[in-house]
């Protein structure tokens, strides 16, 4: 009898271990939800990508030059450099947060996921170049248009990377609603980036403003309305609305 109890306890502990390695708890909008953890394969992709993001930010910092004269007036003349740096740094930070979020959805490092990740990182590496150009040209039309085009290309690669990650998410218990809204958000933001490219050629500040507005859509990796409204206490829970079977 004691042996059977010990075996049952061991089985329960093993089940808890498996569940813990497959998912972790995350507080979202005041509610605790289960989200997948990275697998060992996706951990390697994440570690490599983190290094690339760090190098890109370092390059942007090294491009910052001090004013020629030790006066506040000379410092004020560098406002295009400061503005472009802040927006680009914000952009890369948002990319990193969303990249980290998507890697938790992927079940394994498929060839498609790896190559789309390389394409995404390559396009992100163009951000320092476009950032320096709009700073040196003081927000001229063509550099701002190229800046918006780089953001659009980054979003194209992100959309493909997101599609591959979310296509694996169903087997990890991620609800269909979240996947659907995430893809819709990517299509909408890509459309705005593409509109900003020609708009910048005529109205550089309007195009730059469109680029900045799109960034706020990704402040939170989990898209809005990704989960159904919480049911009142005591109501029967509908598991099929949260997890695909």
The pLDDT tens digits of the residues spanning 147-189 come to: 999 999 999 999 999 888 888 766 555 667 777 888 899 999 9
* CA distance linking residue 152 with residue 123, whole number of Å: 10
Find residue 32's DSSP bridge partners.
27
Find residue 35's DSSP bridge partners.
24
Least confident of 42-56, 101-115, 197-211: 101-115
For residues 198-216, give the mean pLDDT: 95
Asked whether the CA dihedral 108, 122, 152, 58 is positive or negative, the reply is: positive
Domain ranges of the chain: 20-63+75-223
Predicted local confidence at residue 16, as pLDDT: 44
Average pLDDT over all residues of the chain: 80
How many percent of the chain have pLDDT more than 90?
A: 52
Predicted local confidence at residue 105, as pLDDT: 80
Are the C-beta atoms of 41 and 109 separated by less than 8 Å? yes
pLDDT band at 44 (very low <50, low <70, confident <90, very high): confident
* CA distance linking residue 99 with residue 85, whole number of Å: 21
Predicted local confidence at residue 29, as pLDDT: 40
- Residue 233's SS3 state is coil
Q: How far is CA 143 from CA 58, 139, 193, in A?
A: 22, 7, 15
Are the C-beta atoms of 8 and 17 separated by less than 8 Å? no
Predicted local confidence at residue 15, as pLDDT: 45
Are the C-beta atoms of 175 and 240 separated by less than 8 Å? no
pLDDT band at 17 (very low <50, low <70, confident <90, very high): very low
Predicted local confidence at residue 232, as pLDDT: 55
């Amino acid at each position: 009898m004691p042996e059977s109890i010990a075996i049952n306890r061991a089985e329960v502990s093993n089940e808890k271990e498996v569940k813990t390695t497959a998912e972790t708890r995350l507080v979202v909008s005041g509610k605790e939800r289960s989200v997948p953890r990275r697998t060992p394969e996706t951990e390697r992709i994440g570690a490599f990508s983190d290094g690339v993001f760090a190098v890109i930010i370092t390059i942007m910092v090294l491009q910052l030059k001090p004013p020629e004269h030790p006066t506040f007036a000379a410092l004020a003349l560098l406002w295009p450099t400061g503005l472009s740096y802040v927006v680009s740094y914000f952009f890369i930070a948002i990319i990193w947060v969303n990249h980290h979020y998507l890697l938790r959805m992927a079940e394994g490092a498929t060839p498609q996921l790896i190559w789309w990740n390389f394409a995404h990182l390559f396009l992100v590496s163009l951000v320092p170049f476009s950032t320096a150009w709009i700073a040196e040209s003081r927000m001229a039309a063509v550099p701002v248009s190229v800046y918006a085009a780089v953001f659009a290309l980054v979003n194209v690669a992100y959309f493909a990377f997101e599609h591959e990650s979310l296509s694996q998410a169903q087997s990890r218990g991620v609800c269909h609603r979240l996947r659907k809204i995430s893809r819709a958000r990517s299509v909408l933001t890509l459309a705005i980036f593409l509109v900003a490219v020609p708009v910048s050629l005529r109205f550089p500040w309007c195009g730059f403003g469109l680029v900045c507005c799109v960034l706020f859509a990704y402040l939170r990796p989990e898209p809005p309305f990704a989960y159904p409204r919480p049911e009142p206490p005591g109501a029967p829970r509908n598991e099929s609305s949260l997890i695909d079977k």
